[in-house]
């Protein structure tokens, strides 16, 4: 059978919803913690293809998921652009963008260079994956990357980046457009090395009022999505915290919209009839008993559209989730069956 995940992205018929989990290769897995102990710091893990490929494959081996997502971080491609990045463990940028003159420091490698480790990781993972498991590449969305670039750290209030954008709107447009172009080239490289779908993480779009989201987040994300349309791989735009943007999302030029757990999937399907949907169980449910995880997962599957739906959490799995909770989630989806012939 052709890959369930890719079929669902294209709204083709599947026997059950495909399932993968954001941050599925992560600290909740004992085998991940084992590798991490030996490898040392996070950036080194991302940059060592042998390690990154092994980590990418760990959750596939354990859970038999329908898609693998290459192990990396949305901030790593900023390094070849001239950004001084460290993790300890939170990300920190030593040379943040604080005024328009700082933008001139940002280089776009052309052709894309400086993330060869990711290409090699993709090559290795692609060679190891069975045909029924898709390989997903990814990047951060322009607004989310711009937030990190200006704030320098993970912010709660986003006052620095909003100050920059309000005071220098044209420069900020230039910044997010630059990031869109850079990430388009970055994703292109990933597809050349075997990524069969790409996800764009807009982790911080939820910090924006709709008017600002349209200009600072959705517009440059559209630019990025348009720039890779010719690659003909499914494009997923993950609008974290975007419950208030349902009326703006229909215009996004992508095959799949990723939603967080604040969005009702039934309502989303009515607002977004053209898109496949991905999500959206609260990762916090995986902190509960297995019985509750199964009940909530089934309720999610029942509320989701029958055509064009990919089961996932509504955000990354957290480090404190027990492995049996992930098993309960994945197992419930894998045990589900669409009745033959039922489509909508």
Catalytic center residues: 23, 27, 36, 73, 148
Q: What are phi and psi of 336, to 5 degrees?
A: -80, 145
Give the range of 62-70, 159-167, 305-313, 333-341 binding its own copies by CB under 8 A: 159-167
The Cα 148–Cα 176 span in angstroms is: 12
- Cβ distance to its own copies smaller for residue 32 or 216: 216
The Cα 324–Cα 192 span in angstroms is: 36
Q: Which of residues 267-326 bind its own copies (CB under 8 A)?
A: 282-285, 287-289, 292, 299, 314, 318, 320-321
The separation between CA 176 and the C-alpha centre of its own chain, rounded to angstroms, equals: 18
- Smallest gap, in angstroms, from Cβ of residue 157 to its own copies? 5
> CA torsion, points 62, 63, 67, 73, in degrees to nearest 10?
-60
Is 132 a residue that touches its own copies (CB under 8 A)? no
Is 264 a residue that touches its own copies (CB under 8 A)? yes
What is the secondary structure of 209-268 as a DSSP string? -HHHIIIIIIHHHHHHHHHTGGG-S-EEEEETT-GGGTTTGGG--SSEEE--TTS-HHHH
Is 113 a residue that touches its own copies (CB under 8 A)? no
- Cβ distance to its own copies smaller for residue 177 or 318: 318
Residues 182-201 vs its own copies: string with x where CB under 8 A?
A: --------------------
- Smallest gap, in angstroms, from Cβ of residue 20 to its own copies? 20
The Cα 299–Cα 179 span in angstroms is: 38
3-state SS class at 29? coil
Q: Which residues are within 8 A (CB) of 81 and not within 5 positions of it... i.e. 6 or more apart?
A: 106, 107, 108, 109, 182
3-state SS class at 280? strand
Residue in the block written with tokens 């489509």? 343
Give the range of 67-75, 92-100, 157-165, 231-239 binding its own copies by CB under 8 A: 157-165
- Smallest gap, in angstroms, from Cβ of residue 168 to its own copies? 10
Q: Which of residues 40-69 bind its own copies (CB under 8 A)?
A: none
Is 243 a residue that touches its own copies (CB under 8 A)? yes
* 150, 252, 263, 313: which one binds its own copies (CB under 8 A): 263
Please give the size of the binding site for its own copies, defined by CB under 8 A: 36
Contact set with its own copies (CB under 8 A): 157-160, 162-163, 165-167, 206-212, 241, 243-244, 261-264, 282-285, 287-289, 292, 299, 314, 318, 320-321
């Amino acid at each position: 059978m052709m890959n369930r995940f890719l079929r669902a992205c294209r709204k083709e018929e599947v026997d059950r919803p495909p399932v993968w989990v954001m941050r599925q290769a992560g600290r909740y897995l004992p085998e991940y913690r084992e590798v991490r102990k030996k490898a040392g710091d996070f950036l080194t893990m991302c940059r060592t293809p042998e390690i990154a490929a092994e980590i990418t494959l760990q959750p596939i081996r354990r859970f038999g998921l329908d898609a693998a997502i290459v192990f990396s971080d949305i901030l790593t491609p900023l390094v070849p652009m001239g950004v001084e990045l460290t993790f300890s463990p939170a990300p920190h940028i030593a040379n943040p963008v604080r005024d328009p003159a700082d933008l001139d420091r940002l280089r776009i490698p052309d052709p894309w260079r400086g993330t060869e480790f990711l290409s090699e990781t993709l090559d290795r993972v692609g060679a190891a994956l069975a045909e029924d498991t898709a390989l997903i590449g990814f990047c951060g969305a322009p607004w989310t990357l711009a937030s990190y670039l200006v704030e320098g750290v993970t912010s709660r209030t986003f006052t620095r980046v909003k100050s920059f954008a309000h005071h220098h709107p044209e420069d900020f447009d230039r910044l997010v457009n630059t990031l869109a172009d850079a990430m388009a080239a970055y994703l292109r490289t990933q597809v050349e090395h075997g990524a069969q779908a790409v996800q764009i993480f807009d982790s911080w779009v939820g910090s924006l009022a709709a008017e600002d989201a349209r200009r600072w987040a959705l517009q440059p994300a559209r630019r990025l999505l348009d720039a890779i349309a010719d690659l003909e791989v499914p494009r997923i735009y993950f609008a974290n915290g975007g419950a208030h943007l349902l009326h703006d999302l229909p215009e996004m030029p992508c095959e799949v919209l990723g939603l967080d757990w604040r969005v009702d999937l039934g309502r989303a399907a009515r607002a977004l009839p053209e898109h496949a949907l991905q999500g959206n169980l609260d990762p916090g449910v995986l902190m509960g008993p297995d019985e509750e995880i199964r009940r909530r997962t089934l309720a999610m599957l029942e509320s989701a559209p029958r055509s064009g739906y990919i089961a996932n959490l509504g955000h990354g799995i957290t480090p404190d989730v027990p492995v049996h909770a992930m098993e309960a989630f994945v197992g419930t989806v894998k045990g589900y069956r669409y009745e033959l012939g039922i489509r909508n």
